[in-house]
């Protein structure tokens, strides 16, 4: 049966990122782009579709989560699979429709981790702190080796260890999909400089936990997320329309 490609007309009430995701999906589904092909740069796609780079970035993240696209650090984005499951694509599009933006996803994750931090500050154990410290050590080595993927994986381990220390399965399960989405942005935008800065914020969280100071723990987590969101979303480099960002050096 012949597949009917997605409509790529921009509807008046549709989010720009959803429109971009549908357009990207149509290029893959119709064979315009095949598995292994490199996508045009975010800047080129934004110009072609008359949208901001932020909208393009959000669409690529949504398709990355569904394994249609993969990001290669310092290189770009590639088609990683064919459009075999319309349900997967629809799920990615629905996620974009239901979320205002990646900023909203980061905000939700921040609120969950603040609750986690509050709980951990009340019941932190030496074993939990050791797991956090171990993750930081791996992050530091990854920066030295300029291994972004290892760095992001260790960062992921830090936040999972923090959630496990809260001893609340609901919070851990709520955090995991958010980590998966935000990690895509970290892989793309992590640099040596902001990588070291985030490590320093992690260390501040551990120090506050050792002191069993709930207020300091929450303060440290808030500062950490402020830096992480800026690094991942490159907000400090975006113009008002989000159409361009200066070059930044990868690890």
Contact 56, 42 (CB under 8 A): yes
CATH of the domain at 141: 1.20.120.530
Q: Residue 174: which H helix or E strand, with range?
A: helix 169-189
Beta bridge partners of 188: none
Residues 228 and 126 in one domain: yes
Q: Given this model, what pLDDT does residue 65 score? A: 67
Residues 191 and 220 in one domain: yes
Domain finish residue from 74, 98, 122: 98
Crossing angle, helix 42-49 and helix 16-29, to 10 degrees?
Answer: 100
DSSP state of 70: E
Q: Given this model, what pLDDT does residue 234 score? A: 58
Residues 92 and 180 in one domain: no
CA distance 181 to 197: 21
Residues 93 and 135 in one domain: no
Residues lower than pLDDT 70 in the chain = 1-14, 65-66, 73-74, 83-101, 184, 188, 232-251
Q: Given this model, what pLDDT does residue 98 score? A: 53
Residues 215 and 93 in one domain: no
119 is a domain residue? yes
In the chain, the number of structural domains is: 2
244 is a domain residue? no
21 is a domain residue? yes
Residues 133 and 221 in one domain: yes
Q: Which two tokens stand for residue 127?
A: 């074993």
112 is a domain residue? yes
Q: Given this model, what pLDDT does residue 70 score? A: 83
Residues 121 and 227 in one domain: yes
Print the domain residue range for 38.
16-98
- Does the pTM of the predicted model rise above 0.75? no
Within 13 A of 132's CA, how many CA atoms are on the CB side? 26
Residues 123 and 202 in one domain: yes
CA distance 99 to 174: 15
Residues 118 and 158 in one domain: yes
Environment class of 73 (CB within 10 Å of its CB; exposed 0-12, middle 13-18, buried 19+): middle
Residues 122 and 158 in one domain: yes
Question: What sign has the CA pseudo-torsion 161, 162, 168, 174?
Answer: negative
């Amino acid at each position: 049966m012949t597949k009917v490609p997605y409509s790529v007309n921009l509807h008046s009430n549709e989010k720009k990122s959803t429109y971009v995701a549908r357009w990207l999906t149509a290029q893959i589904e119709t064979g315009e782009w095949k598995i292994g092909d490199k996508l045009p740069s975010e800047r080129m796609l934004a110009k072609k579709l008359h949208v901001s780079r932020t909208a393009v970035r959000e669409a690529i993240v949504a398709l990355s989560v569904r394994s249609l696209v993969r990001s290669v650090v310092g290189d770009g984005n590639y088609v990683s699979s064919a459009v075999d499951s319309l349900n997967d694509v629809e799920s990615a599009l629905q996620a974009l429709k239901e979320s205002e933006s990646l900023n909203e996803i980061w905000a939700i994750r921040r609120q969950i981790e603040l609750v986690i931090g509050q709980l951990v500050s009340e019941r932190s154990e030496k074993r939990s702190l050791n797991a956090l410290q171990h993750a930081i050590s791996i992050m530091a080595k990854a920066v030295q080796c300029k291994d972004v993927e290892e760095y992001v994986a260790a960062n992921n381990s830090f936040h999972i260890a923090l959630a496990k220390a809260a001893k609340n399965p609901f919070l851990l399960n709520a955090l995991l999909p958010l980590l998966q989405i935000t990690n895509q942005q970290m892989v793309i935008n992590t640099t040596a400089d902001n990588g070291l800065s985030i490590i320093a914020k992690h260390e501040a969280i551990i120090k506050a936990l050792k002191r069993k100071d709930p207020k300091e723990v929450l303060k440290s987590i808030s500062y950490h997320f402020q830096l992480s969101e800026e690094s991942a979303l490159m907000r400090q480099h975006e113009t008002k329309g989000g159409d361009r960002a200066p070059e930044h050096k990868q690890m």
